[in-house]
């Protein structure tokens, strides 16, 4: 069970979230000075991840109930993609190689409670990997902060993801890209405080880590599609 001091600290962090959304960079200096800041940051991410997982699971179940038969949907989507002019220009052998990847992508997941686990775990994994990359980039650019400072500050910088809990913001699309940009801007401010960098160095550290993380995510997605297509 969480102690009373932990609950009070968590409430203090939650009160900082509006300032994260308003790009108040001073709050990261407060986080850096807090005792057990990293521990409370992890708890904050778990809370946010579980909330996003609940919202995602509920949305998936509702969408599945209102959607047509998954097999018919996949076959219709496959016919539509294969009918595209750019695909028609491919040779028969190339189209044959494309089909397994396409079917793996169109295979629709069944609704379930797995999002309650995968969402917080994915959020924690992305945050920790980004923190490690950002720490390395910041140190190369002259940063002086500890890894724990970077992780604690960037945990709070994930706060804009709470906007995805709003019912009119879908988890994919332009709105989600806007939230990602918001998070990146918050990470920039977090790294300035955590590492004591000037604006440009913090910008490049934040951007470099984000680009490497995006490349790793893309590689993982392509691997997943390839494995799914061969299954």
Where in the chain are the domains?
26-230
Q: Which of 64-68, 82-86, 128-132, 172-176 ranks highest by mean pLDDT?
A: 128-132
Separation CA 148–CA 56 (nearest Å): 30
Q: Which of 139, 148, 189 is nearest to 42 (CA)?
A: 148
- As given in the structure block, the two tokens for residue 33 are 């000075």
Q: List the Cα angle 187/33/203 in 5-degree steps.
A: 20
- Write the pLDDT tens digit of every residue in 77-115: 666 666 777 767 777 777 677 666 666 655 555 455 677
- As given in the structure block, the two tokens for residue 57 are 């699971």
Q: Which of 56-65, 112-121, 146-155 ranks highest by mean pLDDT?
A: 146-155
- Write the pLDDT tens digit of every residue in 193-224: 999 989 899 999 999 999 999 898 888 877 77
Q: List the Cα angle 219/192/194 in 5-degree steps.
A: 85
pTM of the model: 0.72
Element (H or E) spanning 57, and its range? helix 37-66
């Amino acid at each position: 069970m969480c102690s009373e001091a932990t609950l009070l600290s968590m409430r203090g962090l939650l009160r900082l979230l509006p300032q994260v959304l308003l790009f108040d960079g001073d709050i990261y200096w407060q986080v850096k000075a807090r005792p057990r800041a990293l521990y409370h940051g992890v708890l904050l991410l778990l809370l946010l991840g579980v909330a996003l997982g609940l919202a995602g699971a509920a949305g998936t179940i509702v969408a599945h109930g209102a959607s047509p038969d998954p097999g018919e949907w996949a076959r219709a989507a496959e016919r539509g993609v294969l009918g595209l002019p750019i695909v028609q220009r491919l040779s028969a052998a190339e189209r044959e190689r494309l089909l397994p990847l396409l079917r793996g992508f169109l295979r629709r997941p069944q609704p379930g409670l797995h999002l309650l686990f995968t969402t917080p775990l994915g959020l924690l994994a992305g945050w920790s990997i980004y923190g490690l990359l950002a720490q390395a980039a910041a140190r190369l650019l002259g940063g002086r902060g500890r890894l724990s400072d970077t992780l604690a500050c960037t945990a709070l910088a994930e706060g804009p993801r709470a906007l995805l809990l709003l019912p009119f913001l879908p988890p994919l699309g332009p709105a989600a890209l806007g939230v990602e940009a918001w998070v990146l801007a918050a990470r920039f401010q977090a790294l300035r405080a955590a590492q004591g960098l000037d604006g440009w160095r913090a910008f490049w550290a934040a951007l470099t880590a984000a680009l490497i993380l995006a490349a790793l995510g893309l590689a993982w997605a392509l691997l997943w599609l390839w494995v799914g297509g061969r299954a």
